[in-house]
């Protein structure tokens, strides 16, 4: 059976704790961490915890998902800018879909993202909820 166990395990700091890498030269934050700063090409970073709140920049509601997500649809996915400037793609959950709007404030939470079928691992990660 197809399984992403090694990759999933490696990505826990990002998925579960939103750990990023802050460039020691220019201060730009990379998420996920990289080996070379995308702004100044410096190669030394410190590990930091990203802000857990942010703003919704854009979003969509997925009605035709990949099979793995078929039970969840329709569901919302958006691009969030966290308060430290980091942008990420995430599901936005626990919200009536007509309440979504560009500019709404969100908070990052910990949820189940995918299941590897009925027998494989459960894959957890970050999602967003509207804060108001």
Q: Which of 28, 111, 116, 120 binds another protein (CB under 8 A)?
A: 111
Structure tokens at 92: 């936005």
String marking each residue 71-110 x if it binds another protein according to CB under 8 A: xx--x-xxx-------xxxxx-xx-x-----x------xx
Shortest distance, CB of residue 62 to another protein, whole angstroms?
5
Q: Which of 44, 85 has the CB closer to another protein?
A: 85
The SS3 call for residue 12 is: helix
Instruction: Quickly count: other Cβ atoms within 10 Å of residue 89's Cβ.
Output: 9
What would the two tokens of residue 32 be? 């996920």
Out of 61, 84, 105, 116, the only residue in the binding site for another protein (CB under 8 A) is: 61
- C-alpha neighbours within 13 Å on the C-beta side of residue 60: 5
Q: Assess contact for 40 and 24: CB atoms under 8 A.
A: no
What residues numbered 6-45 form the site for another protein, per CB under 8 A?
7, 11-12, 16-17, 32, 38
Phi-psi region of 85 (alpha: psi -120 to 50; beta: other; left: phi over 0): left
Tell me the closest approach of the beta carbon of residue 67 to another protein, in angstroms: 5
Is-contact 105 132, C-beta < 8 A? yes
**Binding stretches for another protein (CB under 8 A):** 7, 11-12, 16-17, 32, 38, 49, 57-69, 71-72, 75, 77-79, 87-91, 93-94, 96, 102, 109-114, 117-118, 122-125, 127
């Amino acid at each position: 059976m197809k399984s992403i166990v090694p990759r999933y395990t490696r990505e826990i700091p990002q998925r579960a704790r939103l750990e990023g890498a802050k460039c020691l030269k220019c201060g730009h934050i990379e998420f996920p961490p990289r080996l070379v700063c995308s702004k100044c090409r410096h190669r030394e970073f410190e590990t930091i915890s990203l802000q857990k709140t942010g703003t919704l920049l854009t979003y969509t509601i997925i009605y035709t998902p990949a099979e793995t997500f078929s039970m969840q649809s329709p569901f919302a996915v958006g691009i969030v800018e966290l308060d430290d400037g980091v942008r990420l793609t995430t599901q936005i959950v626990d919200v009536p879909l007509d309440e979504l709007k560009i500019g709404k404030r969100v908070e990052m939470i910990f949820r189940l993202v995918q299941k590897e079928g009925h027998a494989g691992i459960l894959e957890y990660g970050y999602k967003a909820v509207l804060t108001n």
